[in-house]
Chains A and B, each alone.
Chain A
Amino acid sequence: MISIGELPVSDTKPKDNLLEKLKKLITHLESGDDQQALVLLDELSSGRDSYLFLELGKLTRKLHDSLTNFQLDTRLIGLANNDIPDAKERLNYVISMTEQSANRTLGAVEQSIAILDDLQDQAVQVNQNWGRFMRKELSIDEFRELTRGVTRLLETAGAQNLTVRNNLNEVLMAQEFQDLTSQIIRKVIRLVEELEVNMITLIKISGGLDKTPGAGPEASGDLSGPAVPGVSTSKASLSSQDEVDDLLSSLGF
């Protein structure tokens, strides 16, 4: 198949050529050189044919471009109809997975802290009474209370040690979201990239490139949310608590 780009392109010369050939034709006809005149006539009509081919080539290219654009349009429709809603679903899933993980972790940590607090309270109690026992300050009833305290402490320590261990395992397991969420987010990033490329092509086709597409005005009233390293925004963002403190102290805080 011949590519359209290889078709003859000679659009400034034909006019001069044509004039010259017509002048020659007249000269030949006037001088009665019919042979030469016929050759020239042939050349002229074949030249007309190549013009026709050139135009046909241009038309074919237009058709080809339109067909390509049409494909692009259907891809954009696919992106809008399927991929974007799909991506929203995926991101919602990321939110629920991270939330679930945070709650699992917090639950395990809160339970462990309560256990450790309880153990510490018991240990402090036993320790105080032990000190009094060593100083021979305990009555026989208080000594019995001390032995009960020691027994309780040893039992709790043994049993709760296992619970805390399990809770730590729970915290460990709750981190599994990281693998899954990053895979999902990476997929969505690829989708956004594809959308970006398609949109740029669309802008080029619609001839909007003479107006350089700059970043549009930021939607007003929208809070900018967490600062992300490497993502610049139009408004100055402070990246650390120290910078925030400096700003506040400059305001008299």
Chain B
Amino acid sequence: MKILIVDDFSTMRRIIKNLLRDLGFTNTTEADDGNTALPMLRNGNFDFLITDWNMPGMSGLDLLKTVRADAKLCKLPVLMVTAESKKEQIIEAAQAGVNGYIVKPFTAATLKEKIEKIFERLNA
């Protein structure tokens, strides 16, 4: 499974990448905001998108909305991993069609659980 990790902080990308590798997902690619992520998504046959919300350039929410509006990408499962924890924001992300939402700081177990849940639901 090919996964794109989008976060403006390289340390967070490295942490997520390492956690994913431990979960058996070794095919990961990184991008530092929505603007760099979009062309990669359009050309890369990704199976899963993990994105932060607050990033310079294009935010994770805008990336999510663009993905959902794109005929080719609209079915792509998206997991948001972000420090934004306001009720309104979570509702906004849900309405925009996010598949999972993790608030930072998070644990390896949470990441595992959410990813499993997303694929469980997609395969149901």
| Residue ID in chain B nearest A240 by CB atoms | B103
Residue B18, interface by CB 8 Å:
yes
* Chain B nearest Cβ from A224, distance in angstroms: 6
Q: Are the C-beta atoms of B110 and A235 separated by less than 8 Å?
A: no
Q: Are the C-beta atoms of A237 and B94 separated by less than 8 Å?
A: no
Q: Are the C-beta atoms of B86 and A99 separated by less than 8 Å?
A: no
* Chain A nearest Cβ from B40, distance in angstroms: 22
Q: Are the C-beta atoms of B90 and A247 separated by less than 8 Å?
A: yes
Q: Are the C-beta atoms of A241 and B110 separated by less than 8 Å?
A: yes
Q: Are the C-beta atoms of A237 and B11 separated by less than 8 Å?
A: no
Q: Are the C-beta atoms of B84 and A247 separated by less than 8 Å?
A: no
| Residue ID in chain B nearest A251 by CB atoms | B94
Q: Which chain A positions have C-beta within 8 A of B59?
A: 223
| Residue ID in chain B nearest A243 by CB atoms | B85
Please tell me which one of the listed residues B11, B18, B86, B102 contacts residue A224 in the complex, with CB atoms under 8 A apart: B86
Residue A239, interface by CB 8 Å:
yes
Residue B15, interface by CB 8 Å:
yes
Q: Are the C-beta atoms of A225 and B84 separated by less than 8 Å?
A: yes
Most chain A beta carbons < 10 A, residue from B87, B106, B110 = B87
A247 to B85, CA, bound (A): 11
A233 to B54, CA, bound (A): 18
Q: Are the C-beta atoms of B87 and A236 separated by less than 8 Å?
A: yes
Q: Which chain A positions have C-beta within 8 A of B102?
A: 241, 244
A235 to B88, CA, bound (A): 8
Interface positions of A from 73 to 113, Cβ below 8 Å from B = 99, 102-103, 106, 109-110, 113
Please tell me which one of the listed residues A102, A113, A238 contacts residue B86 in the complex, with CB atoms under 8 A apart: A238
A241 to B85, CA, bound (A): 9
Q: Which chain B positions have C-beta within 8 A of A109?
A: 18
- Please judge, given known A-B contacts A244-B90, A248-B94, whether A227 and B11 are in contact too, CB under 8 Å: no
Q: Which chain A positions have C-beta within 8 A of B54?
A: 223, 225
A247 to B14, CA, bound (A): 29
Please tell me which one of the listed residues A227, A236, A241, A248 contacts residue B106 in the complex, with CB atoms under 8 A apart: A241
A226 to B59, CA, bound (A): 16
A106 to B13, CA, bound (A): 11
Q: Are the C-beta atoms of B110 and A227 separated by less than 8 Å?
A: no
Q: What 0/1 pattern do residues 217 to 253 of A give for CB contact below 8 A with B?
A: 0000001111100000101111111001001100101
Q: Are the C-beta atoms of B11 and A236 separated by less than 8 Å?
A: no
Please tell me which one of the listed residues B11, B85, B88 contacts residue A244 in the complex, with CB atoms under 8 A apart: B85
A61 to B119, CA, bound (A): 76
A235 to B87, CA, bound (A): 8
Most chain B beta carbons < 10 A, residue from A110, A241, A244 = A241
Q: Are the C-beta atoms of A248 and B18 separated by less than 8 Å?
A: no
Q: Are the C-beta atoms of A237 and B86 separated by less than 8 Å?
A: yes
A235 to B101, CA, bound (A): 19
Q: Are the C-beta atoms of A237 and B101 separated by less than 8 Å?
A: no
Q: Which chain B positions have C-beta within 8 A of A240?
A: 103
Q: Are the C-beta atoms of A106 and B90 separated by less than 8 Å?
A: no
Q: Are the C-beta atoms of A253 and B94 separated by less than 8 Å?
A: yes
Q: Are the C-beta atoms of A238 and B85 separated by less than 8 Å?
A: yes
Q: Which chain B positions have C-beta within 8 A of A241?
A: 102-103, 106, 110
Q: Are the C-beta atoms of B90 and A248 separated by less than 8 Å?
A: yes
Q: Are the C-beta atoms of A244 and B94 separated by less than 8 Å?
A: no
Interface positions of A from 102 to 145, Cβ below 8 Å from B = 102-103, 106, 109-110, 113
Q: Which residues of B contact A (CB under 8 A)?
A: 10-11, 14-15, 18, 53-54, 59, 83-91, 94, 101-104, 106, 110
New A-B pairs, 20, CB < 8 Å, besides A106-B18, A241-B106: A99-B11, A103-B10, A106-B11, A106-B14, A106-B15, A110-B18, A223-B53, A224-B86, A227-B85, A233-B86, A235-B88, A237-B87, A238-B87, A239-B85, A240-B103, A241-B103, A244-B103, A247-B91, A248-B101, A253-B94
